[in-house]
A = this chain, B = another copy of it.
Amino acid sequence: MIPRYFFLLFMASAMLNAQPNPNDAARINQFYDTSLLEGNAYAWLDYLTNRIGSRLSGSLGAERAVAWTKAELDSIGLDRVYLQDVKVPKWVRGPKEFALIETAPGVTFNVPITALGGSVATPSVGLKAPVIEVQGIEELKELGRKKIDGKIVFFNRPMQANLISTFQAYSGCVDQRYSGAREASKYGAVGVILRSMNLRLDDLPHTGAMSYGDQKVSKRIPAAAISTNAAEKLSNLLKLEPNLKFLFRQQCKTYPDVWSHNVIGEITGSEFPNEIIVVGGHLDSWDLGDGAHDDGAGVVQSMEVLRLFKASGYKPKRTIRVVLFMNEENGLRGGNAYADNALLAGEKHIFALESDAGGFTPRGFSFSCSDEEFAQVESWKPLFKPYLIHYFEKGGSGADIRPLKNKYNVLAGLRPDSQRYFDHHHAENDTFDAVNKRELELGAATMASLIYLYDTYGLAQPIASELEQ
């Protein structure tokens, strides 16, 4: 264990040293210059989204993305590039879904709809039933089986627009998507439709993961999301005609698990090769759009961090590893497999950074760490001020790296501007054209700068060897 006074000494020196170290400032400036003037992240994203396209786990796109990112990492002169086996779920959407509202026989309104990932199909002729609107899972119990039995439950609690962080607004709603079908089924519901997780009123349905947990197959009911405009319309029509019916048809199917891979590349540390720093994003995406923001951006930014190190002649002291995780969207198998392997191999991960919040202008980072480690991070803030990076807060990191957390290490998530993210999230407009080149490049440089600082200074409280995991 490191004596407490070492930490106090560090804190005192950090406070005395309010001016950023000029070497650090120069190096960070070089990362930003190189990223903005000679960056490669945008060209990579172009290929990943426009040539390969969507990358749902188990799909051909996912496998092409594995092969292509491995080849690209091979081309930038890393010390080691390899694949890590991961068994992933394989869910297939099937033909485009169809839905309509029927207010009276022959009086119908078409509705944009998308099956939720993991859902079962409707009967092949579609499912038609009356609708009951609820504002959340809690309301199911109040209504009870009598009012729900035989109906389609319509979850319509919107994202809260007055929250500044749209991720917070998402967190406040997403239980309806993830668990709505499982819960509604308990009260006899025959299907579930969901207001899309989108702050904007538009015509795009947004998919995303749902789960039946260990529910019996016979109890599983189909679940789908409708666009926010359609949700408004359905809600209004229900007030006029409570007995209206909703019809939807989806032919999605879950196949047996298949093998896929995490893609990993590293620069071996020159002084402390056994101290590992991870930077990553997830390679899989939903099958609508081409996963440009979620998480093509994080993938190419993470690759770019190592390329920027090579391009600017920076030789890290610690081992810097880019990990492109498979299956974040519907299983997290890649993140779990990576952490399991790290544990088995006795690897010491001191820091991990994930970019999985879109390719928008970077605002800062969220850190999962102790107060002592956070104090070190805060001492670095002045280095980021010239780049308008200001957000350094304790909080979550990223879904794929979270399994790496232990008592000692630090995890972080890049926090880009979140205002536009849910306009595109899991929808067919999550495409290359929605990503701005400069914003993407600023994110990559910001990530490289933080990785550089952890490489240079390590943890504030180094993990003593007897405490290594």
A20-63 residues at the B interface, CB under 8 angstroms: 32-33, 36-37
Question: Which of A37, A388, A420, A437 gathers the greatest number of chain B CB atoms within 10 Å?
Answer: A388
List residues of chain B with CB within 8 A of the CB of A36.
161-162
A7, CB-defined interface residue at 8 Å: no
Q: Told that A164-B442, A200-B437, A419-B436 touch, could you supply 18 new A-B pairs with CB distance under 8 A?
A: A32-B162, A32-B164, A33-B162, A36-B161, A36-B162, A37-B161, A161-B438, A361-B361, A361-B417, A361-B419, A388-B391, A390-B391, A419-B438, A419-B442, A420-B436, A420-B438, A420-B439, A423-B436
Name the B residues within 8 Å of A92 (CB-CB).
none
A95 beta carbon closer than 8 Å to chain B: no
Q: Is A374 an interface residue (CB 8 A)?
A: no
Contact A388 B438 (CB under 8 A): no
Report A152-174 CB contacts with B as 1/0, cut-off 8 Å. 00000000011010100000000
C-alpha gap A42/B5 in the complex (Å): 56
* Residues in B neighbouring A166, C-beta threshold 8 A: 438
With A161-B36, A162-B32, A162-B36 as contacts: A419 and B439 at CB distance below 8 Å: yes
| Pairs A–B under 8 Å by Cβ, sample size 14 | A32-B162, A37-B161, A164-B387, A164-B442, A200-B437, A361-B361, A361-B419, A363-B388, A388-B390, A419-B436, A419-B438, A419-B442, A420-B436, A420-B438
A436 to B162, CA, bound (A): 15
Asked if B437 and A162 make an inter-chain contact with CB atoms under 8 angstroms apart, the answer reads no
Say whether A386 faces chain B, with CB atoms less than 8 Å apart.
yes
- B-chain residues with CB within 8 Å of residue A439 when the two chains form the complex: 419-420
Most buried by B among A161, A420, A442: A161
Q: Is A199 engaged at the interface, CB distance under 8 Å to the other chain? A: yes
Interface residues of A in 432-468 (CB under 8 A from B): 436-439, 442
A357 to B361 alpha-carbon distance, docked (Å)? 16
Of the residues B33, B162, B390, contact of A390 by C-beta under 8 Å? B390
| Shortest distance between the CB of A445 and any CB in chain B (Å) | 10
Q: Of the candidates B162, B419, B423, B437, which one forms a contact with A37 in the assembled complex, judged by CB atoms under 8 Å apart? A: B162
Contact bitstring A386-401, B, C-beta under 8 A = 1, else 0: 1110110000000000
Choice from B199, B386, B437, B438 contacting A438 with Cβ under 8 Å: B199
Are A388 and B420 in contact, CB atoms less than 8 angstroms apart? no
Smallest distance from the beta carbon of A357 to chain B beta carbons, Å? 14
Q: Given the complex of chains A and B, what is the CA–CA distance between A33 and B163 in angstroms?
A: 8
Least CB distance, A195 to chain B, in whole angstroms = 17
A386: which B residues are within 8 A, CB to CB? 164
**With the chains together, A361 CA to B420 CA distance in Å?**
10
Q: Give the most central of A36, A363, A390, A419: most B CB within 10 Å.
A: A419
> How far, in angstroms, from A301 to B353 measured CA to CA in the complex?
37
Return chain B residues, CB-CB under 8 Å to A361.
361, 417, 419
With the chains together, A401 CA to B376 CA distance in Å?
43
Instruction: Mark out the residues of chain A between 329 and 379 whose CB falls within 8 Å of any chain B CB in the assembled complex.
Output: 361, 363
Smallest beta-carbon distance A157→chain B, Å: 15
Q: Which chain B residues border A33 with CB–CB below 8 Å?
A: 162
Contacts of A37 in B (CB 8 A): 161-162
CB A159 to nearest CB in B, in angstroms, measures 11
Looking at the assembled complex, report how far the CB atom of A101 sits from the nearest CB atom of chain B, in whole angstroms: 26
Please report which residues of chain A, range 143-195, place their CB below 8 angstroms from some CB of chain B when the two chains form the complex: 161-162, 164, 166
How far apart are A430's CB and chain B's nearest CB, in angstroms? 15
Give me the 6 closest cross-chain CB pairs, A-B, nearest first.
Answer: A390-B390, A36-B162, A33-B162, A419-B438, A36-B161, A419-B439
A436: B residues at CB distance < 8 A? 419-420, 423
* Chain B min CB distance to A265 (Å): 26
A417 to B423, CA, bound (A): 18
Chain B's closest residue to A422 (CB) is B438
**Residue ID in chain B nearest A201 by CB atoms:** B437
Contacts of A387 in B (CB 8 A): 164
List residues of chain B with CB within 8 A of the CB of A388.
164, 363, 390-391
Q: Which residue of chain B has the shortest Cβ distance to A387 in the bound complex?
A: B164
Q: For A442, what are the chain B residues with a Cβ–Cβ distance below 8 Å?
A: 164, 419
A435 to B37, alpha carbons, bound, how many Å?
Answer: 27
Complex Cα–Cα for A200 and B436 (A): 9
